[in-house]
Structure 1
């Protein structure tokens, strides 16, 4: 009799474990990857965009215009270097504050 009980338990244990695993994975996969950008722009009124002569530039938000400019320059240097561009030529081309 004990062998029969063990088989009955193992017959439902594996499907339950699999269902729990899938439920946990589904919960994690629904998180948005852009949440950090949305939360950063909630309290930030100023933004700036910096572009290099070749490669990818960077857009950044900040509480003040100078912070936004500095962040966009840092992003431009980082992204231009990764994309095979020229990080030394980064310049802020747009900087504004919203009302």
Structure 2
């Protein structure tokens, strides 16, 4: 009877440790992604969006308006070429800075 109880106890301990480990791992992964996303936009106050006539466009952030416009245009050329669009027709359609 004692051997049977000891095996039940050890299986419960192993399951509990596994559950705690899983909960801690899940909690840490969510916090890392949020922190990384927030840190990437701290210094970027301007954004721009560029679109081609056909295909996917590009949205980009930058510390200055001209940098955001350049990055957006570069992204538009890259993504429209990949999506079968027309990279030569990319134009910045929206650009502004947050306060």
TM over 0.5, yes or no?
yes
Q: Give structure 1 stretches of 5+ with no counterpart.
A: none
Measure, in 1, the Cα distance between the counterparts of 2:35 and 2:57: 21
Measure, in 1, the Cα distance between the counterparts of 2:76 and 2:34: 19
Cross-structure match for 1:84: 84
Alignment of 1:6-85 (within 5 A): 7-28=7-28, 30-31=30-31, 38-85=38-85
Superposed CA deviations along residues 8-52 of structure 1, whole A, max 9, x for unmatched, are 443213321331243034314644867655544432232211111
Q: What is the aligned residue count?
A: 99
Q: Which runs of 4+ in 1 moved over 4 A?
A: 1-6, 31-38
Measure, in 1, the Cα distance between the counterparts of 2:91 and 2:35: 27
Report the CA distance shift for 1:13/1:39 in structure 2 as closer, same or farther (over 3 A): same
Report the CA distance shift for 1:66/1:86 in structure 2 as closer, same or farther (over 3 A): same
Q: Give structure 2 stretches of 5+ with no counterpart.
A: none
Measure, in 1, the Cα distance between the counterparts of 2:29 and 2:13: 24
Cα RMSD (Å) of the superposition? 3.2
Range that drifts further, 16-25 or 68-77: 16-25
Secondary structure of 1:69's aligned partner:
helix
